[in-house]
Amino acid sequence: MWEQLLPGLRIKLFMTFFLGVFYPLVMTGLSQLLFSRQANGSLVMMGNRVVGSEVIGQNFTKPGYFHPRPSSAGSGYDASSSGGSNLGPTSAKLLRGAIKLDDKKSEVVDFDGIALRVVHYCVENNIPYESSKSLEGFKDIGGNLDDVKLIKALNDNRAPLAFAPKIPIPADAVTGSGSGLDPHISPANAQAQAGRVARTRGVSVNQVNELIAKYTERPDFGFLGEPRVNVLKLNLALDKRFPHR
């Protein structure tokens, strides 16, 4: 019996040591030697402080910054809950959003939906649009758009709110990535936001567009992927070149 078991046991012990100890140590050593920055997370530093990673997106909401793609990772850009919405292209929830009741029985947004994202993108970036109803009727007492009211109107079976931009909106501006952690946006998305950023920082749109062009990354090896802009690196460059007044 041992003559049959020992060869298998030896192979198991060897493979456990080789694949579980030796190989990981060699790969870790080589990665630290050849690709140290990437192996340690491609961290972005400001002085001695880590402000993020080049490969993991983070949220920016202030008008003076470029905003990233929508994210369904946790509560948004949660690296511990990477993932998409898992909603299909014909899902009413994906297209028009949904609301729910919270613990206090108040109506809150369950999922914002593409249509609501389009509304906010147009309003925030002064993109011309057509709407079947005035958006003034969907604002709260503070003058901000009430997302719950908008989602209800978009899902109204009798007379739904019809809202459409007059110019094309980049797809990545209103759709999330599969991981929810995409650190990039398209150059077209960045350019559509340039006017808002320029007004907030008191500079010209041309100056902001020059910065976008500078931080536009080309396809890998010239043909893999699409041109893209790293949101974190662009926003850090904004703070450095055009600090808030």
What is d(CA 235, CA 67) in angstroms, rounded to the nearest whole number?
A: 9
Pairing of strands 163-165, 129-131: antiparallel
Indicate if the alpha-carbon torsion angle 125, 126, 128, 130 is positive or negative. positive
pLDDT tens digit sequence for 127-150: 999 999 999 999 999 999 999 999
**54 DSSP assignment:** T
What is d(CA 161, CA 118) in angstroms, rounded to the nearest whole number?
A: 13
pLDDT at residue 36 tops 90? no
Domain carrying residue 205: 40-83+181-245
Q: Which two tokens stand for residue 148?
A: 């719950």
Reported as type and span, the H/E element at residue 151 is helix 147-154
69 contacts 177 by C-beta, under 8 angstroms:
yes
Q: What is the dihedral of CA 120, 82, 186, 245, to 10 degrees?
A: 60
% of the chain surpassing 70 pLDDT: 99
User: Residues 147, 206: one domain?
Assistant: no
pTM: 0.87
Confidence category of residue 164, pLDDT binned at 50, 70, 90:
very high
123 contacts 174 by C-beta, under 8 angstroms:
no
How many domains are there within the chain? 2
Mean pLDDT of the chain: 92
User: Residues 92, 141: one domain?
Assistant: yes
User: Residues 97, 167: one domain?
Assistant: yes
Task: State mean pLDDT over 52-70.
Answer: 94
Could you say which of 155, 175, 195 is where a domain stops? 175
For residue 245, the model assigns a pLDDT of 66
Contacts 24+ apart (CB under 8 A), 103-112: 107/148, 108/148, 109/147, 109/148, 109/151, 111/85, 111/87, 112/70, 112/147, 112/151
